[in-house]
Amino acid sequence: MKPAQAIYRIDSSEATLLLSANGAVPRMLWFGASLPQIADPSALHSLCDIAVPQAKLDTAVPLSIFPDSGSGFMGPVALEGHRAGSHFSCTFKIEHIEQSSASIEFTLLDPVAELRVRTEFLLDSDSSVLTINTKLENTGSNAFSVTKFASATLPFADTFTECLTLNGRWGLEFQQHRSAISANQLRIKNTSGRTSHEYFPACIVGQQHFDAERGQVLGVHLGYSGNYEFTVERLSTGEACLQAGMAILPGEINLAPRAVIDSPPLYACAANSLNQMTQRFHRFARRHVLPKWTRAPRPIHANSWEALYFDHDEKTLLALVDAAANAGAERFVLDDGWFHGRRDDTSGLGDWWVDKTIYPQGLHSLVAHVRKRGLQFGLWFEPEMVNPVSELYKNHPEWVLQVEGQDTPLARNQLVLNLGLPAVRDYLYDSIAALVDEYKIDYIKWDMNRDLVLPGNNGQAGVVAQVNGVYELLDRLTSAYPALEIESCSSGGARADYGILLRTGRVWTSDSIDPIDRLTIQRGFGLFFPPEIMGAHVGHDVAHLTGRATSLQTRAIVALQGQYGYELDARHISDDEREQLVGYAERYKQHRHWVAECTTWEVPTRDASLFVKGQVSADQASSFWTVVVSSSLDTTLPEKLRLLGLDGAKRYRITVVGWEALKSFAKHIPDWVVSGAVVSGSELMNIGLNLPVMPAQSALLLDCSEA
């Protein structure tokens, strides 16, 4: 006789989670759109009964939420490890189940392997995002060496045949890449010690050709800032699963008796399109991940880096502050080059005190001038790094991550401090806190400019300890200074995830501010992160990273997709350019009070060179839309633009910014572009708008507000 089975259920406003348990490890029956109440659970179990093919085990081995090797499961198991070479396999059974209205926690036990696992499923009632937290406890009397520990293993529908991942490189992060889900295993493994430029800790599986407005999808994101691994596989049985968790270096996790380790949380969302998935992740991040200060209107940044690089001079900086303020900036950030011995990138990192050869009286006069102009003051740090040419390294060479007897390759002439050591964290906290106190710093740009190579910690691999150390240091600072705003920068977007965003509230999306490259960078970033935390700046007319020349109009309109700012030398712009920048700054200020709660809409287009993105206020009364052409379109006229997410019954006034730059490219520009129009939301979403002729690298901004 089969053991009795029970159905465990959680419902949110738009989703249902069903799990089944019969004493063995539970399995997930459903995660997706809301289901009606189940009248007969036994009938459902009958429907989910699994056939047993020939040439396999004599009993069915279903895919469970924590697959183990002892059950005979031949897919990706959730846990691998050993006790000095023994106890290499596990067979878990349910020890305890605890349920509330929003969560279910299963406690699993293997008394032979002497291991206990607790897996919690928490379904957010508002966003319908599912959070999965898993803990592993060593109940034995000797250490257990962990070599693999997955956060979660999720089944997905048979109809899901495509997997979307975000890949890239420095200066071109968050690029969308699609793979077919077939008999081959899809695997991402990141060992850079940070979330990395090359991979993003997320993937989306879905129906063939899913896009912004169609196709069921399951999106998952691992909230972790270190090494990780994703696997997507369709087994020979036909079952398909997605597994994610931290990637563990050899010998890195040796779990002492009674010790517990937490997996990084996995966040999952089932939706009917990419837009719906994105909107749910954004709602969840705003309520449960991001610091509270991100809910306030975001100020316009002016960053000194591409204006001056290391060429610091107090008189020059004062003029730069004035020019930035005159262009509409509200926060001035002094980037790399202000601290002891820092004349280039070969020295100084770790010596966190003001260089008196440049600033004899410290930063007081600069900060006073910034405040006099009505701006906030921000300062750049790279706390996790040290140059071999520095006072800190001379005094404490033992403070770096290293493997004895091996030379660690330099990157940007720097090594990595071992934040697994309390003394290192104390030194960094004291150094940063002293400057925050002295100058009343409003904002820190926290950079991290290299991958971890040979990340040794007292003879063992130390990436997990390093990530935990970074988190602990940030937690200590944000606890002591709750109003202090911190940005996550890592040579651009190499550390962007919900783990770091529990401690920071802005991401420098990429070191490339070429607006054409930024179109795909920001589109990928926006799948999981809301626009108000996306650093997006107007750069020089010729992008420093790519050498591409673009108009100020295109640079500004693309920057308006995120938290607007400047990465240029405003001292050397013309009066006309300054007037344009002020105009775009005013547009940003006009809308930003509702952007922190906006709904974003990606408009799918026939031509891959046409990019349309909208931000719509929660009450659907205001919105703005960026329309950008990256390269020459296939047709002489752009396709018709149909807006999304408006109230069909409302009437909207459409105003177009930037159309004057297009006059020379056509004999006629549509009347609504030149004179504006008042039309219903229904007309805008169904009939649409005929766009003007738009050449390569041109852009328009559509302001759409209730009439």
Condensed to tens digits (0 to 9), the pLDDT of residues 403-430 reads 999 999 999 999 999 999 999 999 999 9
- Tens-place pLDDT, residues 655-672: 999 999 999 999 999 999
**Letter string b/e over residues 292-317, b meaning 16 or more CB atoms within 10 A of that residue's CB:** eebeeebbbbbbbbbbbeeebeeeeb
Residue 253: the pLDDT is: 96
DSSP 635: S
Q: Are 155 and 240 in contact (CB under 8 A)?
A: yes
Strands (E) across 193-251 are located at: 202-207, 217-222, 228-234, 240-246
- Tens-place pLDDT, residues 591-624: 999 999 999 999 999 999 999 999 999 999 999 9
The token duo for 89 is 């396999």
Residue 441: CB partners within 8 Å, gap ≥ 6? 377, 378, 379, 435, 484
Q: What CATH number was assigned to the domain covering residues 292-385+422-451+474-595?
A: 3.20.20.70
CATH class of 601-706: mainly beta
Compute the average pLDDT of residues 155-177: 97
Is a pLDDT exceeding 80 seen at residue 527?
yes
Weakest-pLDDT range from 8-12, 49-53, 295-299, 382-386: 49-53
Which amino acid does the sequence have at 71?
S
Distance (Å, rounded) from C-alpha 700 to C-alpha 627?
Answer: 5
Which amino acid does the sequence have at 644?
L
Catalytic annotation on 447?
yes
Q: Where in the chain is the domain with CATH 2.70.98.60?
A: 6-288
Q: Where in the chain is the domain with CATH 2.60.40.1180?
A: 601-706
Instruction: Compute the half-sphere exposure of residue 53: CA atoms within 13 Å on the CB side of its CA.
Output: 6
Residue 2: the pLDDT is: 42
Determine what percent of the chain falls in helix, strand and coil, rounding each to the nearest 5.
25, 35, 45
Confidence of residue 282 (pLDDT cuts 50, 70, 90): very high
User: Of 299, 282, 347, which is closest to residue 602 (Cα–Cα)?
Assistant: 282
Answer yes or no: CATH 2.70.98.60 is held by domain 6-288: yes
Q: Are 107 and 26 in contact (CB under 8 A)?
A: no
Q: Where in the chain is the domain with CATH 3.20.20.70?
A: 292-385+422-451+474-595
Weakest-pLDDT range from 37-51, 441-455, 502-516: 37-51
Write the burial class of residue 668 (CB in 10 Å: 0-12 exposed, 13-18 middle, 19+ buried). exposed
Specify which residues 16 forms β-bridges with: 11, 32
Write the burial class of residue 472 (CB in 10 Å: 0-12 exposed, 13-18 middle, 19+ buried). middle
Pairing of strands 534-538, 506-508: parallel
- Tens-place pLDDT, residues 27-86: 999 999 999 988 787 778 778 778 888 888 878 788 899 999 888 888 899 999 999 998
Catalytic-labelled residue, pool 336, 447, 514, 517: 447
Is a pLDDT exceeding 80 seen at residue 3?
no
Distance (Å, rounded) from C-alpha 433 to C-alpha 374?
Answer: 24
Compute the average pLDDT of residues 359-385: 98
Confidence of residue 23 (pLDDT cuts 50, 70, 90): confident
Residue 373: the pLDDT is: 98
Token pair 């997996």 in the structure block, residue: 263
User: Of 43, 17, 67, 23, which is closest to residue 239 (Cα–Cα)?
Assistant: 67
Distance (Å, rounded) from C-alpha 60 to C-alpha 5?
Answer: 15
Q: Are 385 and 452 in contact (CB under 8 A)?
A: no
Position with higher pLDDT, 528 vs 101: 528
Is a pLDDT exceeding 70 seen at residue 284?
yes
Compute the average pLDDT of residues 497-511: 98
Q: What percent of the chain has pLDDT over 90?
A: 91
What is the average pLDDT score of the chain? 95
Residue 441: CB atoms within 10 A of its CB come to 22
Token pair 């699609």 in the structure block, residue: 178
Distance (Å, rounded) from C-alpha 278 to C-alpha 404?
Answer: 46
Q: H-type helices in 20-159, by residue range?
A: 41-47
Catalytic-labelled residue, pool 124, 511, 514, 517: 511
Distance (Å, rounded) from C-alpha 555 to C-alpha 513?
Answer: 8
Q: What percent of the chain has pLDDT over 70?
A: 99
Q: Are 179 and 166 in contact (CB under 8 A)?
A: no
Distance (Å, rounded) from C-alpha 287 to C-alpha 335?
Answer: 31
Distance (Å, rounded) from C-alpha 474 to C-alpha 503?
Answer: 6
Residue 56: the pLDDT is: 82
Residue 402: the pLDDT is: 96
Is a pLDDT exceeding 70 seen at residue 5?
no
Compute the average pLDDT of residues 691-695: 97
Instruction: Compute the half-sphere exposure of residue 679: CA atoms within 13 Å on the CB side of its CA.
Output: 19
Which amino acid does the sequence have at 587?
R
Is a pLDDT exceeding 80 seen at residue 4?
no
User: What is the enclosing helix (H) or strand (E) of 237?
Assistant: none
Secondary structure of 365-426 as H, E, C letters: HHHHHHHHCCCEEEEEECCCEECCECHHHHHCHHHECCCCCCCCCCECCEEEECCCCHHHHH
Catalytic annotation on 475?
no
Position with higher pLDDT, 225 vs 182: 225
Residue 56: CB partners within 8 Å, gap ≥ 6? none
Residue 41: the pLDDT is: 78
